[in-house]
């Protein structure tokens, strides 16, 4: 397993060791000992899975403390453009985002720490995405930021007019209008 750091503190790309042969492939999608050996403190408690068609944009979602969630994202089928937006007060990258193409071929994974909003767009005909979360879902702590917030300037890689976004996600506030309880810790 390779751990690739981004310029965003705590935001990591995980490249698992994939063993291919005539039968197919095998890889460990999560191994807590390997995470610990790489100084990654992360213990998942809940798996979420979504299936979406081309053009779907989901996000930008997060949960406030004390139910904040770190997420390990991977694609089981298809291809997505995954985005993490830093919303930690005092962070050197506050209000900035990082995007990564993740697909079922390369099997890269995205470890998004607490204090980030998360979203993705579907670039293939269908995508099945698995989120391994380190805290349980809490409807009262669920929050979001509008994926179409022009100040973020996110290119979701979907042709204009072809986006499929839930009414709930389109009603989310802009980044400038949120109040968050996340504080950056060095």
Query: Which residues make beta-bridge pairs with 143?
Result: 62
Q: How far apart are CA 166 and CA 170, in angstroms?
A: 6
Of residues 25, 42, 61, 118, which has the active-site annotation? Answer: 61
Of residues 62, 81, 98, 131, which has the active-site annotation? Answer: 131
CB-facing half-sphere around the CA of 77: CA atoms within 13 A: 10
Measuring CA to CA, how many Å separate 143 from each of 74, 77, 98, 105, 173?
22, 27, 19, 31, 9
131 is known as an active-site residue: yes
Measuring CA to CA, how many Å separate 52 from each of 66, 149, 165?
29, 22, 11
Active site residues: 61, 131
């Amino acid at each position: 397993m390779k751990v690739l750091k981004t310029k965003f503190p705590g935001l990591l790309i995980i490249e698992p060791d994939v063993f291919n042969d005539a039968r197919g492939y095998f890889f460990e999608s999560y191994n807590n000992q390997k995470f610990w050996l790489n100084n990654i403190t992360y213990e998942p408690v809940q798996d979420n899975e979504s299936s979406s068609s081309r053009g779907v944009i989901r996000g930008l979602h997060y949960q406030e403390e004390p139910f904040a969630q770190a997420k390990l994202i991977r694609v089981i089928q298809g291809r997505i453009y995954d985005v993490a937006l830093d919303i930690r007060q005092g962070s050197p990258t506050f209000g900035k985002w990082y995007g990564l193409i993740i697909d079922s071929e390369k099997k890269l994974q995205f470890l998004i720490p607490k204090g980030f909003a998360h979203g993705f767009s579907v670039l293939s005909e269908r995508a099945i995405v698995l989120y391994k979360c380190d805290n349980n879902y809490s409807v009262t702590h669920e929050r979001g930021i509008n994926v179409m917030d022009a100040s973020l300037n996110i290119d979701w890689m979907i042709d204009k007019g072809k986006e499929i976004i839930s009414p709930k996600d389109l009603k989310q506030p802009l980044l400038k209008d949120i109040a968050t309880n996340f504080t950056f810790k060095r």
